[in-house]
Structure 1
Amino acid sequence: MKILITGLNGTLAPRLAEAARAAGHEVIGWDRAAVDIDNEALSAAWLSAQSVDAIAHLGMASARFAGWLASRCPNFLFTSTVMVFDHQPDGPHDVGDTRNARDDYGRYKAACEDAVLLANARPVIARIGWQIDETRPGNNMLLTLDDWQKRDGRVAASSAWTPACSFMTDTATALLGLLERPLPGVHHLDSNAEEAWRFDEVARALARKFQRDWRVEANEDYRHDQRLVGGPSGLSPLSARLAR
């Protein structure tokens, strides 16, 4: 299968590309320097010439582009976020819950979801939480906590927050499965969905696993059961990778 993956300069998309290539698939990216996504005629000609079998849209682009891209390929996957849900009302958040984001990022992702659903009869929309990886830059929980320790001399972690979170390689494997065996609809991919680890527990477990000397200090500054539940697929639990 030939797969177009957008966002290959980002955080999660390279892990998906690694998993796809390891499974024998051909992966191509979208070079925006060569093909301007705002030039619809040029984009259409380039994409048609690629003859892709599937598209995984993980890159940051407008909702208009997300809808346009979804219209070009039946086997289309869009990666969204838990941030489409605000912390009030509290979670856990089911696939059928009303999206009520108040921040710009969450509203942006919700708009992309809507555009994809209008443009493609049977898309896959995969909502994910905070990703964990040993090396990938970007929005990566492990490296973010490293930064907090360096900046503040401690890792402040709310025991009143139950985060949606997963190891990046597990998320990539799940996304690849949804490309290989498309199951249209909204999927919530969260390794914390069943076990409900608190954020301070996750931070301490990561410190042990990756031999970090963080000073983890629990507080209750942020209250939210953020877990993503429901939907037709899931991920291995955090306990498969971390000791509680």
Structure 2
Amino acid sequence: MKILVTGLNGTLAPRLAEAARAAGHEVVGWDRAAVNPDDEAASAAWLAGVQPDAVAHLGMGSARFAGFLAARCERFVFTSTAMVFDHAPDGPHDVADARTARDDYGRYKIDCEDAIGRASDTAAVARIGWQIDPTQSGNNMLMALDDWQRRDGRVAASRRWTPACSFMADTAAALLALIERPQPGVHHLDSNAQEGWRFDELAWALARAHGRDWRVEPTDDYHHDQRLVGGPSRLPPLSARLSR
């Protein structure tokens, strides 16, 4: 299968590409320098030439572009975010819950979800939380906590925050499964959905598992049960990779 993966210069998309190639699929990326996503005619011509069997849209781009891609491939997966839900009302957040985001990023992802829904009835929308990986740079929880320790001399971790999160390898495997065995609709991919690790617990467990000497300080400064529940997909729990 030829899979178009957007966002290959990002954090999660390279992990998905690795998983797809290991499974025997061909992966192609979208070169924005060569094809402007905002030029619909050029984009349509390029897609007609490439003829992907599936599209995994993990890159940034307008809501119009998300709908454009969804309309042109039946096997389509889009990564959205737990941030489509604000902290009030509190979670856990089900797939059917009203999206309450107030920040720009959450509202942007809502616009993309809506554009995809209007364009396709076969698309899968996968909402994900903060990703964890021992090597990948970018928006990666492990690397972020390293940065906090270097900057502040400590890792302030709220015991009132239950984050949506998962390891990138598990998320990539779930996204690839949605490409290989399409399941239209909204999916919540959260390894913390059932176990409910607090952020301070998670920081301590990551420090032990990955040999970090962080000074983890529990706080009460952020209150949100951010977990993503419901939907047809499941990820391995955090306890499959971490000791609580």
TM-score scaled by structure 1? Answer: 0.99
Aligned partner of 1:26 in structure 2 is 26
1:2-13 aligned within 5 A: 2-13=2-13
- In 2, Cα distance between the equivalents of 1:83 and 1:205? 24
In the other structure, the counterpart of 2:183 is: 183
TM-fit CA distance, 1:121: 1.5
CA distance in 2, matches of 1:85, 1:39: 31
Structure 1: how far apart are the matches of 2:196 and 2:212?
23
1:161 maps to a residue whose letter is W
Counterpart secondary structure, 1:182? coil
Residue aligned with 2:20, SS: helix
The separation in 2 between residues aligned to 1:51 and 1:138, in whole angstroms, is: 30
- 2:89 counterpart residue number: 89
Question: Counterpart of 1:59 in structure 2: which amino acid?
Answer: G
Specify every segment of 5 or more residues in structure 1 that has no aligned partner in the other structure, as ranges: none
| Amino acid of the structure 2 residue aligned with 1:24 | G
Deviations 1:128-185 (A, max 9, x none): 0000001111110000000000000000000000000000000000000000000111
Aligned positions, number: 244
Please tell me the residue identity of whatever aligns with 2:28.
Answer: I
* Code of the aligned partner of 2:211: Q
Q: Secondary structure at the match of 2:201?
A: helix
In 2, distance between residues paired with 1:121 and 1:133?
33
Are 1:72 and 2:72 counterparts? Answer: yes
1:40 partner letter = E
Write out the 4+ residue segments of structure 1 that deviate beyond 3 Å after TM superposition.
Answer: none
Structure-2 residue corresponding to 1:135: 135
Superposition CA RMSD, Å: 0.4
Hey, what's the Cα distance between the residues in 1 that align with 2:75 and 2:224?
34
Report whether the alignment pairs 1:148 with 2:148: yes
Equivalent AA in structure 1 for residue 208 of structure 2? R
Question: In structure 1, how many angstroms separate the alpha carbons of the residues matched to 2:169 and 2:189?
Answer: 12
**2: CA distance between counterparts of 1:137 and 1:113?**
26
Distance 2:51 2:68 in 1: 16
TM-score normalised to structure 2 length? 0.99
Structure 2 regions of 5+ residues with no counterpart? none
Q: Displacement of 1:68 after TM fit?
A: 0.7
1:65 partner SS: helix
Kindly state the Cα deviation for residue 122 of structure 1 after the two structures are TM-superposed: 1.5
User: How far is 1:4 from its partner?
Assistant: 0.1
What is the CA–CA distance in structure 1 between the aligned matches of 2:129 and 2:13, rounded to whole Å?
15
Q: Secondary structure at the match of 1:213?
A: coil
The one-letter amino acid paired with 1:48 is A
Question: 2:10 is paired with a residue of what secondary structure?
Answer: coil
> What are the equivalent positions in structure 2 for 1:187-226 lying under 5 Å apart?
187-226=187-226
Which residue does the alignment assign to 1:37?
Answer: 37
Q: How far apart are the structure 1 equivalents of 2:121 and 2:164?
A: 28
Distance in 1 of aligned mates of 2:37 and 2:94 = 33
Residue 15 of structure 1: aligned partner: 15
Q: What does residue 163 of structure 1 align with?
A: 163
SS of match in other structure, 1:195? coil
Give the Cα–Cα distance (whole angstroms) in 2 for the partners of residues 124 and 229 of structure 1: 16
SS at match of 2:102: coil
Measure, in 2, the Cα distance between the counterparts of 1:75 and 1:120.
10
- CA distance in 1 between counterparts of 2:137 and 2:118 reads 33
**C-alpha distance in structure 2 between counterparts of 1:51 and 1:100, whole Å:** 37
Paired residue type of 1:207: A
Q: Which amino acid aligns with 2:200?
A: D
- Deviation of 1:39 after TM superposition, in Å, equals 1.3
Give the C-alpha shift of residue 51 in structure 1: 1.2
Q: Report the Cα distance in structure 1 between the residues aligned to 2:43 and 2:86, rounded to whole angstroms.
A: 35
Amino acid at match of 1:56: A
1:124 and 1:38 map into 2 onto residues whose CA distance is 23
